[in-house]
Amino acid sequence: MPSLKEVRNRISSTIGTQQITSAMKMVSASKLRKAQDAIIAMRPFSQKLDDILKNLLKSESSSIGEFGKARNPDKVTLIILTSNRGLCGGFNSSVIKAANNMITAKYAEQAKKGNVNVVCIGKKGTDFFRKTKIKILASRNEVWDKLTYSQAAEIMEDVIKKYLAGEIDRVEIIYNRFKNAATQLLSAEQILPFENTAVKNAGEAKTARNDSSAGNKRADIDFIFEPDKELIIKELIPYSLKVRLFRSLLDSFAAEHGARMTAMHKATDNAQELLRSLRLTYNKARQAAITKEILEIVGGAEAIKN
């Protein structure tokens, strides 16, 4: 059985740890509320922008130029969103593991040639890939200090320039999507080449139009585009990519605080359970020490009598 001093020290350190985890939980809960409001407000705008692009690209004649041109993915860039700090459960490890699996499985041939590089947004991802042979194209850990659209636009602008210059053939983004405070969904999305799903499924759409019932109230409308439909599409696609990255950043930011709040809540509960166990051990040790002292006193008294 440990000594009373050892148990007291452990109780003291556990109480200190519990106070820290409880404080971190409250801080994350406060930040989560703001981050949750931001991503909830952002999603309708992002969805509407996607709908506009789908409507513009619904005809087979629509062209998205180099953004949608099929390429052999010889040179691949992964945008990896992690946090700058830990103590958030498996938030960072899940993203890093998914990125590493993608490199070793999906892009194994490109990785052997040294044609896979990463854009790390978050210190945890940067620290991991610095220890590997994968080239870090950019490291933007300062983004999380003050998350703004201009930062996302700057990062995506640089990626788009390299893509149009032929330095990159494919771009994928890996991050945690926010669902609720206790649940984060790991997501991996290809953002370049830009996939024109409406054109890809044009045959299905044409069949659906031909088979539509007379009761369908919505009809195809011919819009007048000014200055030009193709020019509008070429302007909207880069903007859509920047918005998508910003939305992913907001998702990851909210998911991080949700994961940290959940992890700190569990840590606080575990500390409480440990304290109960330690106090029980302390009381047993104290009782044993008192019993030993009483026995020694009684033994001494008996020895004096004899």
Just list the catalytic residues: 88
Taking each helix axis from N to C end, the angle separating 91-101 and 229-305, rounded to the nearest 10 degrees, works out to: 130
**Distance between CA atoms of 291 and 287, rounded to whole angstroms?**
6
3-class secondary structure, 187: strand
Query: Phi first, then psi: what are they for 174, rounded to 5°?
Result: -125, 125
Instruction: State whether residue 76 is helix, strand or coil.
Output: strand
Q: How far is the C-alpha of 177 from the C-alpha of 254, rounded, in Å?
A: 8
Task: Count other Cβ atoms within 10 Å, centred on residue 120.
Answer: 26
**Cα–Cα distance, 210 to 217 (Å, whole number):** 14
Q: Using the structure block, give the residue that is written with the tokens 């452990």.
A: 10
Considering just the CA atoms, what is the radius of gyration of the chain in Å? 29
Phi/psi at 223 (5° precision): -95, 155
Which pair of tokens denotes residue 274?
A: 């440990």
Mode of pairing for the β-strands spanning 116-121 and 135-139: parallel
291 sits in which H/E element: helix 229-305
| Phi and psi, residue 90, nearest 5° | -90, 20
Half-sphere exposure for 41 (CA within 13 Å, toward CB): 6
